[in-house]
Structure 1
Amino acid sequence: MVKRKKSLMIFYEVILILITLVMALPLFLAITISFQKPEVVFSYPPKFFPTSFYWKNYVEAFKYVPLARLFLNSLIVASLITLGKLVTGTLAGFAFSHFNFKGKRIMFTALFATLFLPAETVMILPLFLIMKFFGWVNTYWALTVPFMASATNTFLMRQHFLTIPRELQDAALIDGASYMQFFWRILIPLSRHMIAGASIINFVYAWNMYLWPLIVSMEDKMKTVQVGVKMLMQSESANNWGVIMAGTVVALAPTVVMFLALQNLFVRSLVRSGMKG
């Protein structure tokens, strides 16, 4: 029995290592190619480790495309979307977990069902027409407002709030606190780990958005860094994969660093969200 468990553990570890390698290899190759000269990229046999760091690829990436401005746009957009989703998600999660109202179960079921829809493709035409009607095309409003509410955040926060003893709310109300005072002074501080984990999910999602920013940001000054990578592929550096990979690394770096630094917090928040249904 012990040998069987040990064999299963080894098997699982090997599978996890293989999955990690498959997922990490493209990132490793992107970083490697970004530091290679053009003639080295397609050399044979291929060189997986650069003998010297060719920084000119990064210089040219910023030269052909205004990556600094696009990076700032992505930072603003991702931050605003993250903040908006946290506000709407926590308030909606609080309502679904601590209040009883007519149609609550139906509303939550309908909200949960939207998780199975490719919202960014199904709603893209109606959303664009709405943004055009409001005159928000080529503005931060169009890039952020449509994504400031999320069924995923509502579900995660609702699941987490259900793990907090209901007696805390009863005691707070008996002591004279209002529902909003209980929410801000007790529930939110107790949920800081979950909120931090949700922030990571939201920020990474918003940072990596490509299709929507491509459609609503027609001027280069309003595009995001993900769209900037596509712009590199259409610029004078279209055949220079070192420059393209340099732009890709710039676009990926913030989310990769954030996840590696906060991965324990991220996993802990997901575990807590599923403790009670």
Structure 2
Amino acid sequence: MIENRPWLTFASHATLFTGIALVALPVWLALVASTHPASAFGVGHIPLWFGDAGAETWGTVLFEKAGNGVDTPVWFMMLNSLIMALGITFGKIAISLLSAYAIVFFRFPFRNLCFWVIFMTLMLPVEVRIVPTYEVVANLDLLNSYTGLTLPLIASATATFLFRQCFLSIPGELVEAARMDGAGPWRFFFDILLPLSRTNIAALFVILFIYGWNQYLWPLLITTDDAYYTLVMSIKRMLSVTDGDIAWNQIMATTLLAMLPPVAVVIGMQKLFVKGLVDSEK
């Protein structure tokens, strides 16, 4: 029997709505700020309701230029960010799948040593190896290119570890049955392993896409051409104004647009994401 406690229900709902309000308030303020002219923020208070400059601000940001020294329109920077995020995501998933497959299902000398060497790279994030990585990319003439934006970031020890754990849970009888049916290594990989790993791939896709989309330091270092600016790094450039007022309305509109793709990916893949994290049955 479940005891009915109205005060507990009220407290839980009040806590939930308070959390929603705290999360939604900055988004609301950014949306409102994008509809006011830039001069509205020099009077010492933040508007709380919509203004009449929204269409002009959003049109300028999307199709003309982002503003504050960034002359590239936001839609083009969103395209650059999307190319970078998808390149990093698919690259990490593909390499990690093949690495985990080789470590789990193939017998070769120093197999476990190879895995632990890969796992130890978790202690070396991009920020630690930024100087040698930049030197290699520069020597290969990959500055200001999509290859330079994505290639140094596609290796992932975390994804390799997660796929290894997933593959270790596959029964040995299934492997023997596939071998008896004449399935070779590639057929076993594509016809059996990939379908069984679908939820794990979906969960990693969400995490890695957000990771790639939010990259700031690496694009900032290797891009000097406006044609390869990504959206997140451009927001910081828009704030770096040496003289004159900061166009907060354009910055807020750009920030809201930068939020849309990650939110869309999380919402669109929510069921598979949650299932990939909690479902233990393969």
The change in CA–CA distance for 1:228 and 1:13 in structure 2 (over 3 A counts) is same
Kindly provide the CA deviation profile for residues 179-235 of structure 1, in whole angstroms up to 9, marking residues without a partner as x. 221001111122222212222222111111111001001111111111221232236
Between stretches 5-14 and 59-68, larger displacement belongs to 5-14
Aligned partners of 1:86 and 1:45: how far apart in 2? 47
Whichever residue aligns with residue 221 of structure 1, its letter is: A
What is the match of residue 183 of structure 2? 177
Quick check: 1:266 aligned with 2:273? yes
The change in CA–CA distance for 1:32 and 1:270 in structure 2 (over 3 A counts) is farther
What is the match of residue 258 of structure 2? 251
Normalising by the residue count of structure 2, what TM-score does the alignment of the two structures yield? 0.82
The change in CA–CA distance for 1:219 and 1:179 in structure 2 (over 3 A counts) is same
Normalising by the residue count of structure 1, what TM-score does the alignment of the two structures yield? 0.84
Give the unaligned 5+ runs of structure 2: none
Quick check: 1:125 aligned with 2:121? no
Structure whose residues are more often helix by fraction: 1
Counterpart contact for 1:58–1:243, Cα < 8 Å: yes
Counterpart contact for 2:216–2:233, Cα < 8 Å: yes
What is the aligned residue count? 273
What is the match of residue 57 of structure 1? 57
Whichever residue aligns with residue 93 of structure 2, its letter is: L
What is the match of residue 31 of structure 1? 31
What is the match of residue 240 of structure 1? 247
The change in CA–CA distance for 1:102 and 1:6 in structure 2 (over 3 A counts) is farther
Cα deviation for residue 151 of structure 1 reads 1.0
What is the match of residue 98 of structure 2? 91
Residue 145 of structure 2, aligned match among 139, 142, 166: 139
Counterpart contact for 2:33–2:47, Cα < 8 Å: no
Give the unaligned 5+ runs of structure 1: none
Identical positions, percent: 34
The change in CA–CA distance for 1:43 and 1:259 in structure 2 (over 3 A counts) is farther
Aligned partners of 2:9 and 2:101: how far apart in 1? 40
Counterpart contact for 2:202–2:269, Cα < 8 Å: no
The change in CA–CA distance for 1:185 and 1:265 in structure 2 (over 3 A counts) is same
Aligned partners of 2:218 and 2:159: how far apart in 1? 20
Counterpart contact for 2:203–2:272, Cα < 8 Å: yes
Aligned partners of 1:28 and 1:41: how far apart in 2? 16
Whichever residue aligns with residue 30 of structure 1, its letter is: A
Aligned partners of 2:19 and 2:114: how far apart in 1? 38
The change in CA–CA distance for 1:90 and 1:22 in structure 2 (over 3 A counts) is farther
Aligned partners of 1:198 and 1:19: how far apart in 2? 27
Aligned partners of 1:9 and 1:156: how far apart in 2? 38
The equivalences for 1:196-235 within 5 A come to 196-234=202-240
Aligned partners of 1:14 and 1:93: how far apart in 2? 46
Aligned partners of 1:261 and 1:198: how far apart in 2? 14
Aligned partners of 2:56 and 2:6: how far apart in 1? 50
Kindly provide the CA deviation profile for residues 161-190 of structure 1, in whole angstroms up to 9, marking residues without a partner as x. 233322211111111111221001111122
Between stretches 123-132 and 29-38, larger displacement belongs to 29-38
